[in-house]
Amino acid sequence: MTKAQMENLIRNDFLALIAKAIETEKETDALPVSANEIAVPCLDPDGNETWAVIKVSIPRGTRNGEGGYNPYDGYSAAEDYKIDCEEKAQKKAEADAKKQAKIAKDKKAREEKKALAEANKGLKELRKINIEGE
């Protein structure tokens, strides 16, 4: 059996397992739409029909420049993904903190501007009173 045939066998086994689980748990069809994908009808929160497409692939890895592949490492890929998600979460938290600081700064500036305008209005009234009183 060739490597491609073995990979196809593994992929088809997983597709069949996923399709059976969907049909059993969700009581809906899992429709094959290509050699490595199944489509599942589902409803969105508003009750509208939509589709979920599930793809199963058997990655070979990355080319090594010598006519072969460096094998795919799922553990390494999962760790890289975890680190990427943590970095994105940290950047989002920093952006949110920066946004909140800007909101607070802008609010303070608006309050100061309003207070200054009220003080200027009070001064104008005092000048008006002083001018009229003379």
pLDDT digits (tens, 9 = 90+) for 24-41: 999 999 999 999 999 999
53 falls within a domain: yes
- Considering only CA atoms, give the Rg of the chain: 32
130 falls within a domain: no
105 falls within a domain: no
69 falls within a domain: yes
94 falls within a domain: no
Q: How many domains does the chain have?
A: 1
122 falls within a domain: no
100 falls within a domain: no
Q: What percent of the chain has pLDDT over 90?
A: 74
Average pLDDT over residues 88-108: 95
Average pLDDT over residues 92-115: 94
- Output the pLDDT for position 107: 94
Confidence (pTM): 0.64
Q: What percent of the chain has pLDDT over 70?
A: 96
Task: Say how far apart CA 133 and CA 38 lie, in whole Å.
Answer: 88
Q: Which residue has the tokens 């090594």?
A: 64
- Output the pLDDT for position 133: 59
133 falls within a domain: no
Sign of CA dihedral 107, 108, 110, 115: positive
**Is the pLDDT assigned to residue 101 strictly greater than 90?**
yes
